[in-house]
Each structure stands twice: as structure tokens, then as C-alpha cells.
Structure 1
Amino acid sequence: MLYLITLFALAAASPAFGAHPNAKGISIPLKERTLPTEDGMAYLEALAHQTNQNAVRYLTKEQKTRVLKKPDSSIKARNPPLDRSRTTGAWTAEIQIGSPPQYFDAVLSTGSMHTWVISSTCVAEECSSNKKYDPSKSTTGMKVSNEFTVKYTSGLTVSGPVYSDTVTVGGFSVESQIFTSVNQVQGLSPGVELTVLGLAVSHKASHTNPTFIDTLTYYKQISHRIFSIYLSSVFDSELYIGGTNPEKHHGEVYYLPRQDNTFWSVEGIASVNSEVRYKGKMVLDSGLPTIIGPIDSVKLWWDMVPGARSCKPEICGALGFFLFPCDNAPSFSFTFDEHEFTFAPEELILDRLQSHPGECVGAIHRTKTLKDRWILGTRFMKSVYTVFDADKSQVGFATPV
């Protein structure tokens, strides 16, 4: 309720409340984050750690209780020397928090409503590589509540007080945006930054924890709660807030109704070598670098790939990955309401391990955490222009340029 009182008070006094020149949308450049690694195994361990952090979001409350009691033991914490870097599939946008602004590179997460940033009061070793938010240096920062805590199945725990402050992303700036200033961290992978821009679906609790998109709409800086993501291997990736960018896709956008009130989920089909291997719910999560699914359905998918085999933890660093012949990558596709999007075979290659020449690690892998859905991360979004329309409760797909 404090947030609403503050927001209404600011709306009455602020010149930003009303028509805004950016109401038709604006492009915000994205860049792919790099992760320091020692070798291929360390890289895959870090991805597995990140995957489990994401997967737990899609459990019911009862499932979370069971899983969180027993962190995933398949992830081996080696803390290797860090001497080179790889791109992780985590895409970031520069955001500014406070007055005067403090700058951060925030990972886009369509799987989380929460915007997070590490606090200047965090003294844990895991916080050492992060840029930190210092509320004492902001004239517009205000503490809203004392504690917010999230626990992940990987063993990661983050907590801290909730603040409101001025947040700027691209050409958009809003007052009293809610976010968590994390001052306690356990289990964060070495070298990983925690700043997150939450872009998940708003639900009944959004009046106390509005997303950045919600706040923009409230202040009428955009006309509708809609944004689009275009990811590219070159330097023109973007988050487009307020609509779609026709310069980034071919043809029309095909829309499907969202399947639940919590996540950006649709009904879809996953095929490999022209054979349907999964049909059901799929969730779009830009905070996930790969594509993951339940143990059984992902195994059925890989059974159609000649030479594919399950990758042992001592090879890949964690359970759930598959190896396949690099020179025999299959054709694969995803279909939504009869609209098929075909992927280049090389998009299936997640990594090449020096210890196993000729074999590649697949970008589609499995986790015991999920039971009834696949999660489509940025590996999917690099090949499909994706639109998130909260006002009309729909998700759109188009062929990227």
C-alpha cells in the first residue's frame, strides 16, 4: 500500500504523468554477457547452476518446498581458476538507478517479476565482482520494506530490503520503481553479476511489486504493456519497449494466447528430424541461456538424433546434458498454431569439449526440476523474434531479419 500512496502522490506532482513522446515505443540496445571460465566443463557447470535457478520458478508451492530441501547434487562446485570468458546467452541492458544515476548491466528476465541489484552493504565474497547500489548516494531512494528472500534449487539464496527509486532504461525514466537491494548472497557462481530486470507477467500481487513495464504504463510513457526482444550474433540486438519493431522481423507477427496468469507460456510443438517429440506447454524465459525440459520428454527428443548420448557429469560437469556428433547436427523446429520456425543445425551446438573431439554438447537439455513444460531461453529467441503483450495476454512470434 505504501507503494501505491507514493506512486499516486508522485503522479499528481510529476510532469511525467500524462502523454509522453516515447508512447509509441523505443529501442534499447542489448549485449550478451560473458562468463569467466577455465574450460568447457566449468562453462557447463555454470550454465547448469543458472538453469536450476531458473527452473525452480515454474514449480508449484508444494514442489518448491520439496525441491528446496534438497539442492541439486548433480552440480559440482569446483570454483576453478578464471582465465578466459565465453558468452553465456544472458542478455543485458544498461539501466540507471537513483539520482544522480548509478549504472548497471541488468540481465533481462521474462521469467521473473523482480528487479534486483546488489547492495553496497553486501560484504559476502559472492558480491565482490558486482556493481553495487548505494541508496545513501541517491536523493530519490526510499526503503519500502525490510526483507525479501528467494531460494533456488541450485542452493543460491538472495535477500535484502525493498527500495523504490528512479530507474532509467534507454529513453524511459520512472520514479518510485520497486526493486530489491540484495545484501545477503549464498551460492552465487564466481564472476556472475546479479543485477536483473524483471519482465515477467504481472499478476494479482503486482500492485506491491510492479514491473518496470507496469510502471511505464502507469505513468503513460507507453500506451500498452507490450515489449519485444530481438537477439542477434552481431551488434544490433534490442529490447523494444512499447510495441514491435518492423525493422527487426520479416512478415507478420503470429500471436498465441498466454496459457496461465504467471508466466509467458504458450502451447507448442518441438520436432527433430521432422518428427514431433514433444507437444504441450512452453514458457519463454529470456533469463535462461538454453532450452530445458523434463527428463522423459527431452530424452525422447534426443532419441531421434543419431549418435546422441547422455553426457556424464564427469564430462559435462552436471547431469542433464547430451552429446552428439558435431558434423551430424539434426534439423529441428518449434511450431505454434501451425506456424513452424526452423532452426539452423548449428544452433543446437552449445559447446565443444576439447576432451571429446568431434562431439558437441547440445543446447537442449533436461532437468528433474521440471515436470510438465519446456522452458525456451535465449537460444530459442536468437532464432525467433518474440513479442510479449501483457494487455492482450498473448505472446507473438515472427521470423527475425
Structure 2
Amino acid sequence: MTDDLLATSDLPIARKSLLPGTGFFLPDDLEDDLEDQQAEAALTGADAAVVADADADGLACVALLREAYDDVRNVPDPTDDEPAEPVADDEEPSLEEPEPTPHRVALLPASPHDLEDSLQHVADYAEEGVDLYVCDLCPDRFEYVAAELEAALAVAGSASWYDHHQWDDEVASAIREAGVDLVVGDSEEECTADVVYRSLEYDFAPMYEELAAVTRDHDLWLREDPRSDDLADYAYWTDPAEYVEVVREHGADLPAWVETFLEERRIEKNALIERAVSRAEFRDVGEYTVGITYGRCSQNEVAEAMREQGADASVIVKPAGSASIRGTDAFDRCHEVADLVNGGGHPKAAGCKPDVYDDMLDYAYHWTSRGTVTKRVILEAFEAVVAREAPTADDAAGS
């Protein structure tokens, strides 16, 4: 297969919207080798290792930790540098080059699906006595990370875990019993950057409290500060290492050269949003209206558009097989829906990847049918969750 068939960056929007990015097709062995090399380069000589989600919230945590450790370097110079090449979509593996000058606080970008790999990297490559931090990540079950966490703790001198997702009590207890200082914020009031800001024994400048607040505005989908969309988009489109250093230096007020970069990228972003919104369908599930669509797009804006069309909850199925679930004040049980289809998250924002892909033929059908099977199993999960709250005949008779 030629590289041209895998490249999606130059496709027309109509086709690009239906297919995953190039990174989706990389062999696992190649991806694993690259990730091993990057982790070793980042961790060699580091005083602290931060395993963090590579969205704006997780990366803001890294920025706060680097500030607390006085780890200041690699700040992009707007007079000389252009923003880094856009990274792959959130559904693709991250294969950026390691930061050119190793940091005292090493960044290991991770997702809920590969958290255990990053913990193992700490065990394999970090210096004895390293300070370990895990930020903005929540394992669905302790056994998923138990062995790798134990190995990482054998190397670490201290371990702290900061998050704001919905934690299972047994998982949280197991993490703490393993020797980790776990702090979980209220998922409806705080983002993880808030938790890190208040948990570290460091006197941060006011700009970092503001950075946490603006990050929270987007992460909790409050949308009261227009800067929060800029932070989210910049984290989504640029290299994680660049994002961390820019917000550590500038806080929530991004420099003009970043704003220019965002304006250019939003032309394509808006076109992909329009495609996904145009495919939206609406289904009645009990007393709720669920909007559901398919496409490679920015899920939050698409969910907002479906909400404006009457959806109490929205589902955006991605070409890589994952899906984002967004709620409203009317429906705040997204995490329960996601939990039934191999996922998790918050009451009003969750994600999942249903276990329905056995081979490439299943993915081929997924792309050509625009997510038919995944849509069906997620709607069935909605029906199951809504059925839990519906009164039974016995309840009605008793009232």
C-alpha cells in the first residue's frame, strides 16, 4: 500500500470527514518503538515524570508542575519560530519528536487507553527516586494498571495522582493503598488543573490561577470565557511540548502568533463541523432526545449545534471507532452510558470505544456506513440507562 493512500491531510473535506487520520494506520510495533524512544529521551535525568492526558487540562497540569519545579526552558520565540506542525487528531497516536532539551519535569502524554504503557515507561527509563505525577486520567479498573503502577512505584521516590473524573470507590482505594497520594476534585466544579493548583505547596503567580480557571471553562463546558476555546483548540492542534511551554509563559492570554495559527486552522475545523452537523440524526429515548452523528470533527461544537436543535444528549462517532458523548442540564448521565460501552467520563461529558471491531472489514464497514454499528450499540446503552430511572408498574401502583 502506498503512502499516498494513507495520507489524509490533502483530501477534500467531504472525504477527510469520513476517514481517520494517517496515524490510525501505523503498525503497533512501529508506534511502540517510537514511544519507547521518546519516553527514554524525556525521562533520562528528569527529577519528575508527569503522565498526563494531552488535552488542555492535562497539559496545563504539566505547565503548573514545571513552574513549581522552576523548570523553564524551550519557550517558543514568536520572532523566530512558527507554531509546530499540527499533530494528529485526538483519535490518532501521538508520535511527536521528544523535546529538544530534556526537562527536569518530563512530559509523558497518555490517554485512558494507554495509561499503563506510560507507567511502564517510568519504571523502565526514569531515574531512581523520581517524583511521579499522574494527571487528568482515571482507570476504569485497578487491575488495568496494577502491575505497571507497582513497577513505577518501585522506582519513584514519591507518587501523586490528580484528577477530577468520576472514580469508582474501589479503584480509588486501591490506588491509595498502593502508596499514591490521590486527590480527586469535584467533576462538576473543578478541572484537574484546579486540583493541581490547590494541591501543590507552591505560591503561584495569579496568571496560573487564571490559566486553571479558563481551562476549567472549556473542560466543564461552561463556555463563559472565549479564551477557553482558544486553549482547547491550540492543545488539540499543536505539539504537546509547545503547548505546555507557551501557556507556562503566557498563561491563558495566548500570543498573537498563536492566534494567527488558530484562525488559519479554524477554516478547516469549521468545514468539518458543518459536515458532521449536516449528518445529525435525532432519536427519542424515553423522555430524552439524543442527537447522533459521525465524522472527524471537533466534538464539542458539534454537540452544541445538536443541542441547539433540541438534543438533550449528543453522540459524535469518530472514524477511528471512538465516540464522544455530551449531555445537558436535562441529561447528566453520560458517564453511565459510556460505562456500558467500554468508556467513562463525567456526567455531562464522556467518551468510549465500543468493542465491536474484530478486523479491518469491521472498520471498512464503519467508514462506509458512517458508524452504523457503533451508533446502534451506544443508543442501546442510552436505552439501558434511561430504563433504570423509569418507574416500574409496581412503583406506579404504590404511588
TM-score, structure 1 normalization: 0.28
Which structure is richer in relative contact order (CA contacts within 8 A, separation 6 or more)?
Answer: 1
TM-score, structure 2 normalization: 0.28
Q: Which has the higher strand share?
A: 1
